[in-house]
Structure formats: structure tokens, C-alpha cells
Chain A
Amino acid sequence: MNGIGRGYAGKFLEVDLSREKISELKFDEDTLRKYVGGRGLAVKILWDRLGSKWDEIDPLGPENILTILTGPLTGYYPGGRVCVSGKSPQSNGIVGSTVGGEFGIELKCSGWDGIIVTGRASSPVYIFIKDDKVEIRDASHIWGLDGKQTIKVLTKELRNELQSKYPRYGSWREPAILYIGPAGENRCRIAAVMAKWTHAAGYGGYGAVMGSKNLKAIAVKGTGPLPEVHNPIKTYLLMHEVYKACIKRDNMRRWGTGSAGYYVGYALSSEPVRNWQEEWHNEKSFGVDAFERRVWIKRYWGDFGCPTTCLKIAIVRSGPYAGAITDNPDYELQAYLGTNLGIFTPEENVYVASVIDDLGLCGINAGNVLGFAAELYQRGILTKEDLDGIDLKWGNAKAFAELARKIALREGIGDILAEGTFRAAIKIGEMKGADVMKYAVQVKGIAVGAHGIRSGLDYPTPIAYACSVQGGDHTSVARLPLSSHGSEVIRILLDSAVICIFNYFSEPSLFWKMYEAVTGWHETPETWSSENGLRILNIQRAALLLGGPDFTWNPKIHDDNPPRFYEPLPSGPHAGKQVDKTEVEKLKKEYYEAVGWDENGIPKSEILRKLGLESVDKVLDKVRKKFESKS
């Protein structure tokens, strides 16, 4: 019952911050079978509670719900992640945003499958979970602290507390902590929910949601075992197979995604360079060998149970950026806080990434809006005066770091840029009386991941972002066939199970076997993508189309690429290539058909009823009527 014996602890924690009420929640097996956990279950919870009035819900109001959910495979299939969700202040839809670390493991070991946070605390608080004991506590002493300080203070005080409450236990280990930095506190729509200094649930803007609830952090220490699984022997044998498959991946282990900062630009012509004005570069100063020689001090770093350990730790020891510490940076941040800002040295890249981490900003969304602002500066649309004297020239690392700080604190122009590229483009456009949306490289309020589609050599297809239910999110892209490993519907299961995509790709077939060994439920890419996965996708689509309250998407306009992708690539071996609009329209049509959407991109009644989503169908009438009257 309630998933017990299938990889679930069997209960969820609900914390109502307005009423300071803590309660327990259970889901029946049918719900878990269909929605699994993580992203899928978040979609179910959000829709059930907010669906009928979705367009009126302010993502930053107390009526929004923040979910932090594990899945049945968390802790079993490496590596440990949790999925953060809610109504997104970026897309106004639902984004499943996963983050690595030990939080999910500690949570399950404390007997909880997930946390649902509602309401808003009247003053800053944090939540501390020690097994079945849950407390809402004052956080005024850590409000305002950056990431590194937040972890330092909370680790110290919570260990001291455990040590004095249970003195005979021996040495207490640190609890796992999810937290927000100043960016989340100030409700920047591009703020992330953070873990371990550098780990971020970035897409979706849930740092702002946490901040809007006055929730600075959640810390958890669980002393129990991971929950029981359906077939333990098979699970443990498969775990070994996964380890072996992961350990074989020399490239991924040795360099993580940190070799891509050079490679994706040089070899694939799909890396953002100076706000996507180019996607090719041949800057050998940005080669992975340079990162390794100059800044990496730990070659293999990983989260609980991960045999790949693709992360690395980097520090700048001397020079103007001395003291900057971050991870690799990984590819996305090498691109977005490196090449996209015209930065091509490891030291400057590590420096900007460490500033972004400490502020609790999403590196992708922040790098996107910083690049956008720099292009406006390049074109003379934003002036030094607009930027409070910051000389936002390409490659000026100090200037980008200073602007990031202003964003996190919502100072001056930072207050506008904190809204994210899409909303900033509207405001700056009005301010300057110019069309600046053409420089905004985003889809449905979400920055496009650092994988361009113009060269046709990288994995995203021409409709990858345009038709995704998570906008620009490069980890969840629209792709046919729906049962392919890279399709959004399959990614929904990975984010619901909740596991790491990179480890999935070590040997995908092992995941499906492990899913059955842990849960006892049989799924294949084909069954998942034709029923349970498709159901979750369609609810996400419905929420995205309902949107609101500040903005609602029109698929005819917004199921599309950023204008920049229709400009020809100006440089590199693939110069001249661009996305073909006719091809996009053709693929869109095929995709709509495959997922059951009508010619306006709205889920059809027929598919919704087939999937048992009558309530979604009913609410979507609102959207259908709107488009009928328009056309």
C-alpha cells in the first residue's frame, strides 16, 4: 500500500507555512503507478489543487505550491537527485527541475518520499527534518547570507544540536540542505533552488517561489534505510551492472561535461557565443586541458551513489579572481557564463560561476539575461548610464559579476533583468521604444539551453524547444518518435523516477529493468510514451497554455524558436546555416499529431478523455474559446 515495497517510503510531508501546520499525506498505488514521483507526481498534485483556477494563480503568491519530490529509484539508480516543481514564475506552467546531492537520500532515509510546501511564512523560516520530527524554525540569522555562508552556518548549528540532543550517538554527520541565496530571497525569477554550493534546480525559477514563501532552507537528516524494493536481489545485481556501464565511460568521467566548452563550439557550431550572435569558436584557451591544468583541484566529484562522478572542483588561487571556488564549471555554465559573455579563460569563467552560485542564481537563465543585456549595450540600446556605470563589454568578467549582483539584489537595472530575459525584453522594449525581443534567446520565458539548433549537428531538433512543455529547457526537448531515449516523454519518467540523465545514457536498457525490479511495475519506452508519460505531458501542456496571470502563451506565436535561430550562422565551418521555418512548421504538425494536439496546439478532447483527463479537458475549453474567437 501507498508504494511501500516498491521503492517508496509510503508518506509525503506537507508543510503549510501560513498556518504553521505540518501533516502527512499518502497516495494510493494507482496514483503512484501513473505519476511515479518527482516531476510526474508534482504535475498531478499541482493540477488537482490549482488546475481549475490555474490562470489566476500568482506563482509568487502564497497560493502557489512548492513541491520537492523524490522518486522510487532515488538512491537505487545513480545518482541521487530530487525534483523541484510548482507553478513556474518563468513559464507560468509547470517545470520539473531536478537537482543533485544527498537531499533525496536523506529524505527517503527519514521516511518521507517528498515535501509539499504551501502558504507563506510571516517572516523568514527554515524547515528541519530529523526522521519523523519536523519543525518550522526562525531563519532570520541566515536570511541574506550567500550560499557558502548558509551551508556553513546551518551545518554547524544543526550538527551541534544533534550532538547535544543525542550525545551518545557518536559523531553526527551533516544534514543535507536545499537553500536559496539572496536571488531567491529577492524573488528573482531566475533564482535557483540550490544544494552543495554549486548544485542548482535552475529551470523554472523555483528559488523565487521559495523566497516568496519566506523559506530560506530545508535541512534533513534521516537515519533509516532506503525504503524496501519489489525485488531486492535483482535490484542490487542491476545496480552493479549500472556501475560497470558508468565506469566504462572514460570521457564522461574524466572531463564530465567540462570538455564541451571548447568542443561544442569548435566541433558542433552550437554553443552560445556573445548572446548567440555566433555559435562557433576555436578558443583553445577554453579547452578542457586548460581547466584541468589551471583550476581543477578535484578530478572526480559526485553525489550519493554515483559511479560516474562527472563533477570536478575548481578554484582560482591567485590573480584578480583569487578565492573563486565552484565546480567544473559544467558545460552549461562554461557556455553561459563563459563564451556567451565573450569570456574565454578558465579563471574568469570560474569566477563568474562562483559569483552566480553564491547569489543563488540559475547559471543558464542568468547567463542568458546577462548576454542579452550585453548585446543591448553593444548595440547602444542600453547605455552605461542605464547600467549605473557598468562597462558591460564582452569578456569583462568583473562587469558581468557586478551586474549579476545587482540582479540578485534587484538594484537599478538589475530589478528589470531579475525578471528573466523574456519579461526584461518587454520592459526594456517599452522603455526604449525598440523591438528588443529579437535579441531574446528564450522560449516561453525560459532561457534556451546551451545547445543551438542551427548547425544541425547537436542533439536538439528544430522543434526541440519550440514544442517542449518546459520551454527552453535543454534537458526536456520535444522529439519524435516519442519512445526515443531523447524524447520529452521519456525524460518525464527519468525526472519522475528520479534519476540522472547522464547515468541513464550509460546503458538505457538497464534503467527499464531497474524500474521494474524496484517498483514491480512493467514499463517500456513504448508503453510509457503512449499512456502514463503522455498523460503527464498533456497536463503540463494544459497548464502551460492556461498560463497567467501576467502572461499567456499563444501556440501560433510562441510554439516557435527565438528569432535569432532564423538568422544565418555568421562564422565557422557551418556559416550560413539557419533554421528553416517551413521545416519547423512541418515538424510541428507531426509532433502535434503524435501527442494528440489540435492544429492550434491544444490537447484534443479525444486524447484527454482517453487518458482519463476529463477535468483537464473541461478547463481547456477556456483556452479553446479564446483561440476560436481570435481566428
Chain B
Amino acid sequence: MEVKSGIWIMRDYAKCSGCRLCEVMCSLYHEGKIWPEASRIRVFMLIPGVEFPHFCTQCEDYPCVNACPVKALSVDEETGAVIVDREKCTACGMCIEACPGKIPHIHPKDNYAVICDLCGGDPQCVKICQLGGWKALWIVPRSRVEKHCKLYARTPEEVAKELAINMYGKFGEELI
């Protein structure tokens, strides 16, 4: 599948303040209410101070889309985002298994996988992160970063451990 233009959300974990306003905005946009567990972007804090946003990286080979047994997942040709068809999705979890970062999760109330859809090209999480000046998230044209996207698909455990050592040095190893 070929994405015509597309955007990518660049991320700098070191700048994440842990404020979780990205979750507030994401869930307001998608669910019409503040609902952290239904947010498409989720901030993990496996170690205090080591907060980071965890959300879809739009791998160039889309392993989640390929793994879906009922073809509920597709790629938006404009944005490059993974789109979940809620009617078709059976919440079997195969997309989660296939994701190198175990990024998708099942909606806490309804029976479908939750994956970032880039808000149709205008991501709410980026807006608030920019407004607040943290700039942990910003938008770049996907064409510039395509080969690097998949590298960011890491499990929360991997990211937390490495960030903790980056932040706290050898003391970080004892905190995990």
C-alpha cells in the first residue's frame, strides 16, 4: 500500500512533562469525554519522572494491518494512519500481537482495537503539546522520516527502561 502524502508525529520523549493533556484532548475528540483509557495516545509512567507518550508509529509495512484476520484495519491514503473499522473488528488482539511496540489496545468499553488515526491529519495531541510549549510532539511530513518510523514502535517496558537509564544513569537501573 502506498501513502500519497501523509504526516508523522515526531516525538521527543525527554520533553514529555507527563501532563497527559494529550490524553484529555484525544479522548475529547474521539469519545466526547475525558477518558484516559480510551485515548489513542497513552502516557506511561512505569517509573515516576519517566513519562512518555505511547501511540501508533505508522510502520511502513503496517504489520498490524496485515495481521488482521477480518480486514478491519486499513491505511488512510491521505494521512497514512491506520483506520479501524469498528463494525468488522472483533477485538481478537492479533494487531496488538503483530505490533512490535504492543501499541494498540482494546477499547475499555466497546469491542474494538484503539489505534491513533492522526485525527484525520490534524492531531489534537500535537496541538495541546505545542500550545503548552512542551514540544514533545510535533508534525513532520511523513516522506522525510518514513524509514525511521518503525524504530519507534517499542514496548512500554523497553522505552521506560532505556529512558530511566538515560535520565537517572546507573541509578535508573535500580528503579525498574
User: Could you tell me the distance between the alpha carbons of A253 and B38 in the complex, rounded to whole angstroms?
Assistant: 29
Q: Which residues of B65-124 have CB atoms within 8 Å of chain A's CB atoms?
A: 91-93, 96, 102-106, 108-109, 113
B102 touches A301 (CB 8 A): no
Indicate with 1 or 0, residue by residue over A216-242, a CB within 8 angstroms of chain B CB atoms: 000000111110100010001001000
B33 touches A170 (CB 8 A): no
Interface locus among A136-144, A305-313, A386-394, A441-449: A305-313
B167 touches A171 (CB 8 A): no
A223 touches B108 (CB 8 A): yes
B168 touches A307 (CB 8 A): no
B49 touches A226 (CB 8 A): no
Contact of A301 among B17, B92, B105 (CB under 8 A): B17
Q: Is A303 an interface residue (CB 8 A)?
A: yes
Report chain B residues within 8 Å CB of A168: 91-93, 96, 106
Instruction: Say whether chain B's binding surface is mostly helix, strand, loop, or mixed.
Output: loop
Contact flag A169-B105 (CB < 8 Å), given A76-B34, A247-B131: yes
Chain A residue at minimum C-beta to C-beta distance from B170: A323
Report chain A residues within 8 Å CB of B46: 155, 159, 174
Report chain A residues within 8 Å CB of B133: 247, 253
Report chain A residues within 8 Å CB of B93: 167-170
A498 to B: closest C-beta gap in Å = 16
Report chain A residues within 8 Å CB of B18: 301-303, 309
Contact flag A226-B33 (CB < 8 Å), given A171-B155, A197-B48, A302-B19: yes
Q: Is B37 an interface residue (CB 8 A)?
A: yes
Between B18, B20, B21, B134, the greatest number of chain A beta carbons within 10 A of the residue's beta carbon is seen for B18
Indicate with 1 or 0, residue by residue over A154-176, a CB within 8 angstroms of chain B CB atoms: 01000100000001111101100
Contact of B132 among A167, A197, A243 (CB under 8 A): A243
Q: Is A98 an interface residue (CB 8 A)?
A: no
Report chain A residues within 8 Å CB of B105: 169-171
Q: Which residues of A290-338 have CB atoms within 8 Å of chain B's CB atoms?
A: 297-298, 300-307, 309, 313, 315, 317, 322-323, 325
User: Could you tell me the distance between the alpha carbons of A247 and B21 in the complex, rounded to whole angstroms?
Assistant: 13
> How many pairs of A and B residues are in contact by the CB < 8 Å rule?
135
A170 to B: closest C-beta gap in Å = 3
Contact of A304 among B19, B91, B113, B167 (CB under 8 A): B19
Chain B residue at minimum C-beta to C-beta distance from A105: B36
Interface size class of A (residues with CB under 8 A): 35 or more
A225 touches B33 (CB 8 A): yes
Q: Which residues of B118-170 have CB atoms within 8 Å of chain A's CB atoms?
A: 128, 131-134, 155-156, 167-169
B163 to A: closest C-beta gap in Å = 11
B20 touches A305 (CB 8 A): yes
Chain B residue at minimum C-beta to C-beta distance from A177: B48
B96 touches A109 (CB 8 A): no
Contact flag A247-B132 (CB < 8 Å), given A105-B36, A225-B35, A305-B20: yes
User: Could you tell me the distance between the alpha carbons of A253 and B128 in the complex, rounded to whole angstroms?
Assistant: 16
Report chain B residues within 8 Å CB of A151: 47-48
Contact of A173 among B15, B42, B167 (CB under 8 A): B42
B27 touches A307 (CB 8 A): no
A170 touches B106 (CB 8 A): yes
Q: Which residues of B24-54 have CB atoms within 8 Å of chain A's CB atoms?
A: 24, 27-28, 31-38, 42, 44-49, 54
Report chain A residues within 8 Å CB of B27: 225
Report chain A residues within 8 Å CB of B109: 223-224
Chain B residue at minimum C-beta to C-beta distance from A306: B19
Q: Which residues of B1-24 have CB atoms within 8 Å of chain A's CB atoms?
A: 14-15, 17-21, 24
Beyond the given A159-B46, A306-B19, please list 20 additional residue pairs across the A-B interface where CB-CB is below 8 A: A109-B36, A168-B93, A169-B106, A170-B105, A170-B113, A171-B156, A173-B156, A198-B48, A223-B37, A224-B37, A225-B35, A225-B38, A232-B33, A243-B21, A301-B18, A306-B21, A309-B17, A309-B18, A315-B167, A325-B171
6 A-B pairs whose Cβ atoms sit less than 8 Å apart in the complex? A109-B37, A168-B92, A222-B37, A223-B109, A243-B128, A325-B168
Closest CB pairs A-B (n = 5): A170-B105, A225-B35, A223-B108, A168-B93, A300-B17
